[in-house]
């Protein structure tokens, strides 16, 4: 069985963060492991508090995994402080996993800042060059490019997304996937590999329940890379998976509910959990 590690924050409500990553790993048929970078107090209505795990413990968690278990891919999610980014980057350079998927989590859906301002430069300088695939949404891509260019970069259409992907790739990642879920006109994602832009289209699902979609997609991509699929194939499989999970999302809580990570497996088992 392929083994995939998530390095991310904990969501106590189970919809995002390492909880979503581990569910997504299991749904793809890989063995999931986790390094916790932060503990959040959050639910479907928002993020209310964040307690960062010390960089020393983050590093020791990574040592514990890599010195014992072969890691076929790594997904990196919420890392809020510069010192944590530095230790994660140090361990990635030490252990050299070949498939690193970086989901640059910066702001929650409720508007809570999950990346300290002082950590943005560390993210750009340390983690981006180590990423095989990076998966920013439009606000994250804009924030990355503001840090790179020193001025605002607004993304309003697919052409802007393509230019953004090309600019972000200059920071070091092999592949850049700019997700278009924030566009009103379409739900297209743009992948750029340094030469060619590939466009992924899925039907937009009309639901408010999209908590954890970015975490789920990026972890599914990491899992499928571990399974031996190409980047384009991994994204296609993962896009279909997350679209189905959103289409059958769970109306849990008073706010933005989570996706249904195991809908397809439940359906095969004759269970109807929606």
Flag whether 228 is in a domain: yes
Tell me what pLDDT residue 108 has. Answer: 66
Residue 273 domain-assigned (yes or no) = no
Domain count, the chain: 1
What pLDDT does 147 receive? 84
Q: Which two tokens stand for residue 75?
A: 């997904």
Q: Domain residues for 99?
A: 3-268
Is residue 238 in some structural domain? Answer: yes
- For residue 44, is it within any domain? yes
CA torsion, ordered 142, 51, 79, 29, to nearest 10 deg: -110
User: In terms of pTM, does the model score above 0.85?
Assistant: yes
**Enzyme catalytic residues:** 179, 210, 212-215
Please tell me the predicted confidence (pLDDT) of residue 164: 95
Residue 152: its pLDDT value, please?
86
For position 201, what pLDDT does the model report?
87
Q: Distance (Å, rounded) from C-alpha 56 to C-alpha 266? A: 40
Angle between helices 17-28 and 231-247 (to 10 degrees): 110
The radius of gyration of the chain's CA atoms, rounded to the nearest angstrom, is 17
Find the CATH number of the domain harbouring 66: 3.40.1190.20
Output the pLDDT for position 206: 85
Q: Tell whether 274 is covered by a domain.
A: no
What is the pLDDT tens value at each position of the chain, 274 positions in all?
A: 999 999 999 999 999 999 999 999 999 999 999 999 999 999 999 999 999 999 999 999 999 999 999 999 999 999 989 999 999 999 999 999 999 999 998 776 666 667 777 788 899 999 999 999 999 999 999 999 998 888 889 999 999 999 999 999 999 999 999 998 777 666 799 999 999 999 998 778 888 999 999 999 999 999 999 999 999 999 999 999 999 999 999 999 999 999 999 998 888 888 877 6
Residue 69 counted as domain residue:
yes
Whether 200 is in a domain gets the answer: yes
pLDDT of residue 226: 98
Name the pairing type of β-strands 133-134 and 175-178: parallel
Provide the pLDDT for residue 182: 73
In a domain, 98, yes or no: yes
Quick one: pLDDT at residue 111? 65
């Amino acid at each position: 069985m392929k083994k995939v590690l998530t390095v991310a924050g904990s969501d106590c409500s189970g919809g995002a963060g390492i909880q979503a990553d581990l569910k997504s790993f299991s749904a793809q048929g890989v063995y999931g492991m986790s390094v916790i970078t932060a503990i959040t107090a959050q639910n479907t209505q928002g993020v209310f508090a964040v307690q960062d795990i010390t960089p020393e413990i983050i590093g020791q968690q990574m040592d514990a995994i890599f010195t014992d278990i072969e890691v076929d891919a790594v997904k990196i999610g919420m890392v809020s402080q510069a010192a944590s980014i530095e230790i994660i980057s140090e361990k990635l350079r030490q252990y050299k996993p070949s498939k690193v998927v970086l989901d640059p989590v910066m702001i929650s859906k409720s508007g809570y800042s999950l990346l300290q301002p002082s950590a943005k430069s560390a993210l750009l300088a340390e983690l981006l060059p180590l990423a095989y695939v990076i998966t920013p949404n439009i606000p994250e891509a804009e924030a990355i490019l503001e840090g790179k260019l020193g001025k605002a970069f607004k993304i309003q259409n697919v052409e802007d997304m393509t230019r953004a992907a090309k600019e972000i790739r200059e920071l070091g990642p092999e592949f850049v996937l700019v997700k278009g879920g924030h566009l009103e006109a379409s739900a297209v994602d743009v992948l750029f590999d340094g030469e060619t832009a590939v466009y992924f289209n899925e039907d937009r699902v009309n639901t408010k329940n999209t908590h954890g979609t970015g975490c789920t997609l990026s972890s599914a991509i990491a899992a499928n890379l571990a399974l031996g699929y190409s980047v384009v194939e991994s994204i296609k499989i993962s896009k279909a998976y997350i679209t189905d999970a959103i289409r059958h999302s769970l109306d849990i809580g008073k706010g933005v509910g989570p996706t249904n990570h195991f809908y397809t497996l439940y359906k095969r088992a004759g269970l109807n959990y929606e």
